[in-house]
Amino acid sequence: MLPNQRGLFDIPDDVAYLNCAFTSPLLNTARAAAEKALHVKAHPWGLTPKHFIESMETNRALFARLASCAADDVAIVPATSYGVATAARNLTPQPGERILMLAEQFPSHVYSWRRLAAQTGAVIETIPRQEDHDWTRAVLDAFDHGPRVAIAALPPCHWTDGTRVDLVRVGERCRESGAALVIDATQAMGASHVDVSAIQPDFLVTASHKWMLGAYGYGFLYVAPQHQNGEPLEENYLSRAGSEDFSRLVDYRDDYQPGARRFDVGEASMFQLAPVAEAGITQILAWSLPALVDTLAATTEKVAQRAAALGLRVAPRASRSPHMLGLGLPAGRDTSALLSALAAEQVFVSIRGSSVRVAPHLYTSEQDIETFFTVLERFLR
**Residue 1, domain member (yes or no):** no
Domain count for the chain, please give it: 2
CATH label of the domain that carries residue 202: 3.40.640.10
**Residue 206, domain member (yes or no):** yes
The DSSP output letter for 320 is B
- Look at the chain and count its residues: 381
**Residue 30, domain member (yes or no):** no
Domain boundary among 228, 254, 285: 285
Instruction: Say whether both 238 and 330 belong to one domain.
Output: no
- pLDDT tens string, the chain, 381 residues long: the values are 999 999 999 999 999 999 999 999 999 999 999 999 999 889 999 888 888 889 999 999 999 999 999 999 999 999 999 999 999 999 999 999 999 999 999 999 999 999 999 999 999 999 999 999 999 999 999 999 999 999 999 999 999 999 999 999 999 999 999 999 999 999 999 999 999 999 999 999 999 999 999 999 999 999 999 999 999 999 999 999 998 888 888 889 999 999 999 999 999 999 899 999 999 999 999 999 999 999 999 999 999 999 999 999 999 999 999 999 999 998 888 888 999 999 999 999 999 877 899 999 999 999 999 999 999 999 998
Domain boundary among 264, 285, 306: 285
**Residue 31, domain member (yes or no):** no
Angle at 297 between CA 17 and CA 106, to 5 degrees: 65
Domain boundary among 251, 285, 319: 285
Across the strands, what pairs with 2?
none
Phi, psi of 172 (to 5 degrees): -60, -45
Contact 213, 283 (CB under 8 A): yes
Cα 268 to chain centroid distance, Å, stands at 18
**Residue 27, domain member (yes or no):** no
CA dihedral 319, 194, 348, 208 (to 10 degrees): -160
Instruction: Say whether both 363 and 346 belong to one domain.
Output: yes
Q: What is the pLDDT of residue 334?
A: 86
The DSSP output letter for 317 is G
pTM of the model as a whole: 0.97
For residue 256, the enclosing domain spans 38-285
